[in-house]
A and B are shown apart, each in its own frame.
Chain A
């Protein structure tokens, strides 16, 4: 066999790399980076130098208890919220304009007001109507701060998730509906077996975002006396004035979010296998 490269022109050497000059922008950039690095080192150093075994032993167990409360709140509210959101999304896409407007108003109200305000409104608002709620036999539910917070979280996250579901369902081409219809499948079958599974792949990323936001928003529970992770941390701080407890809490939150991020990456790879080329 002849050497096919024999007649070819030799590749030219790449041009020499331009020497980077120390312009004002570069100096500013390196300077800013240096500030961040120094701040980061100072933060980690203060975490170690300020470590107080006594405070840690006394309050870390309470913070772990708080972590469980946070975890329960997030898991329950996101999963119950998902079920509610699916129906709200369907209502949003309904041909009946009253149903779709009602769903729109619900989503509009919960996305347009702060979660903190919603929690306050439901918790202290319920406190103003004790007599009516007792007469209706539901005061036992609203008496507990935990229940009020959980209900608010479910309603809040359902509004966001409904929008996610709606857009991802609408992103499935109409042709899929028509194809299913021509195969003799009725609408409900088409939705549950063909449309929804594909829509959920699109919805996966934004849903992951929503869960991560919920993990952090759940700290709001601490303002109405629930001892979640944030509540336990605040208590520890008010007794010790040791600001390291906030650092520990931040690290725990970071670990939760990082775990979720990794789980989501695995989920996505698994669910989109068939799309890989």
Chain B
């Protein structure tokens, strides 16, 4: 006898089972990244994705015994493409912010690079506290966590805001500003160049969560809690077994976790 309802129910059950089985195992994971944020993720001359994010992702996949494929996606569409299931997780130096948490879920942070002041070499400025920088001219890129931090905490300093980090750097080199607050890792490139040879990092690291967020996390769809948990476990494992440190040391002269 042909029982349509029964057939449909059975088909649905099979579909659900296979779906949940796949979700529980996660043996194949597609990783989305940007490929334009050196040294964290970039495309090398052979057209391959490289960088800190990519190597961390690979280490996590090895740890989870999962087969990973990488997808490069423009920054603007990186969350919509995740929601459209073009890949399963974003590992692209994405900061964990309240606004993004409305759309996606984040794993624990996998790195958090602090902000740091840059100033001219020669040690004219050593104290980067608000009292130490009183009356000085400070610079930052506008609309960033760094500019907000300066505005809120350095009220006795003159603050100059620039459209791009490059312009702030140029004015630091020219001596129009005394110190610039920016991401400590992103500015390493400039400090290592000819133009940036005038200057160096000074003072302590700044990573107050109120201004700078919780660091970079991996983003997954809200329903994929199993994948999120798995990634968190694997992250903990590579942090403990030294794999994370190995990758860290390959890219940066200081710990970024």
By a CB distance below 8 angstroms, the chain A residues around B171 are: 127, 225
Contact of B167 among A124, A128, A143, A238 (CB under 8 A): A124
B148 touches A127 (CB 8 A): no
By a CB distance below 8 angstroms, the chain B residues around A172 are: none
A143 touches B143 (CB 8 A): no
User: In the complex, what's the smallest C-beta–C-beta distance from A135 to chain B, in angstroms?
Assistant: 14
Q: How far is the CA of A145 from the CA of B139 in the complex (A)?
A: 13
Q: In chain A between 143 and 158, which residues have their CB closer than 8 angstroms to a CB of chain B?
A: 143, 145
A234 touches B142 (CB 8 A): yes
Quick one: given A130-B175, A143-B175, A145-B176, are A225 and B170 in contact (CB under 8 Å)? no
Instruction: Check if A239 is an interface residue, CB within 8 A of chain B.
Output: yes
Q: In chain A between 109 and 128, which residues have their CB closer than 8 angstroms to a CB of chain B?
A: 124, 126-128
A127 touches B142 (CB 8 A): no
Q: How far is the CA of A234 from the CA of B167 in the complex (A)?
A: 17
Q: How far is the CA of A238 from the CA of B142 in the complex (A)?
A: 7
Residue of B at shortest CB range from A139?
B175
Q: How far is the CA of A257 from the CA of B208 in the complex (A)?
A: 45
Instruction: Kindly supply a per-residue 1/0 record for chain B positions 126-143, scoring 1 wherever the CB is within 8 Å of any chain A CB and 0 otherwise.
Output: 000000000000010011
By a CB distance below 8 angstroms, the chain B residues around A239 are: 148, 151
User: In the complex, what's the smallest C-beta–C-beta distance from A144 to chain B, in angstroms?
Assistant: 8
Instruction: Check if A235 is an interface residue, CB within 8 A of chain B.
Output: yes
A223 touches B163 (CB 8 A): yes
User: In the complex, what's the smallest C-beta–C-beta distance from A115 to chain B, in angstroms?
Assistant: 16
Instruction: Check if B173 is an interface residue, CB within 8 A of chain A.
Output: yes
Instruction: Check if B125 is an interface residue, CB within 8 A of chain A.
Output: no
Q: How far is the CA of A126 from the CA of B174 in the complex (A)?
A: 9
Instruction: Kindly supply a per-residue 1/0 record for chain A positions 222-235, scoring 1 wherever the CB is within 8 Å of any chain B CB and 0 otherwise.
Output: 01010000000011
Q: How far is the CA of A223 from the CA of B167 in the complex (A)?
A: 10
Q: In chain B between 169 and 184, which residues have their CB closer than 8 angstroms to a CB of chain A?
A: 170-171, 173-176
By a CB distance below 8 angstroms, the chain B residues around A126 are: 174
Q: How far is the CA of A234 from the CA of B151 in the complex (A)?
A: 14
B174 touches A128 (CB 8 A): yes
B142 touches A143 (CB 8 A): no
A127 touches B170 (CB 8 A): yes
Contact of B176 among A143, A223, A234, A235 (CB under 8 A): A143
Instruction: Check if B247 is an interface residue, CB within 8 A of chain A.
Output: no
A127 touches B173 (CB 8 A): yes
Q: By CB atoms of chain A within 10 A, which of B143, B147, B148 has the most? A: B143
Residue of B at shortest CB range from A148?
B176
User: In the complex, what's the smallest C-beta–C-beta distance from B151 to chain A, in angstroms?
Assistant: 7
B161 touches A235 (CB 8 A): yes
Instruction: Check if B162 is an interface residue, CB within 8 A of chain A.
Output: yes
B163 touches A130 (CB 8 A): no
B174 touches A238 (CB 8 A): no
A225 touches B174 (CB 8 A): no
User: In the complex, what's the smallest C-beta–C-beta distance from A160 to chain B, in angstroms?
Assistant: 26
A235 touches B142 (CB 8 A): yes
User: In the complex, what's the smallest C-beta–C-beta distance from B159 to chain A, in angstroms?
Assistant: 9
Contact of A225 among B143, B148, B162 (CB under 8 A): B162
Q: How far is the CA of A124 from the CA of B176 in the complex (A)?
A: 10
Q: How far is the CA of A128 from the CA of B194 in the complex (A)?
A: 13
Quick one: given A130-B175, A225-B162, A235-B161, are A124 and B170 in contact (CB under 8 Å)? yes
B161 touches A225 (CB 8 A): yes
Q: How far is the CA of A238 from the CA of B139 in the complex (A)?
A: 15
Instruction: Check if B230 is an interface residue, CB within 8 A of chain A.
Output: no
Q: How far is the CA of A124 from the CA of B160 in the complex (A)?
A: 14
Q: How far is the CA of A128 from the CA of B171 in the complex (A)?
A: 9
Residue of B at shortest CB range from A234?
B142
Instruction: Kindly supply a per-residue 1/0 record for chain B positions 6-46, scoring 1 wherever the CB is within 8 Å of any chain A CB and 0 otherwise.
Output: 00000000000000000000000000000000000000000
By a CB distance below 8 angstroms, the chain A residues around B175 are: 130, 143
Residue of A at shortest CB range from B172?
A127
By a CB distance below 8 angstroms, the chain B residues around A238 are: 142-143, 147, 161
By a CB distance below 8 angstroms, the chain B residues around A128 are: 174
A127 touches B176 (CB 8 A): yes
Contact of A130 among B143, B147, B160, B174 (CB under 8 A): B174
By a CB distance below 8 angstroms, the chain B residues around A127 are: 170-171, 173-174, 176
A-B contact pairs, 13 of them (CB 8 A): A124-B174, A127-B170, A127-B173, A130-B175, A145-B176, A223-B163, A225-B139, A225-B160, A234-B161, A235-B151, A238-B142, A238-B143, A238-B161
Binding site for B on A (CB under 8 A): 124, 126-128, 130, 143, 145, 223, 225, 234-235, 238-239
- Additional A-B contact list (14), CB under 8 Å, known A127-B173, A127-B174, A235-B161: A124-B167, A124-B174, A126-B174, A130-B174, A130-B175, A145-B160, A145-B176, A225-B160, A225-B161, A225-B171, A234-B142, A235-B151, A239-B148, A239-B151
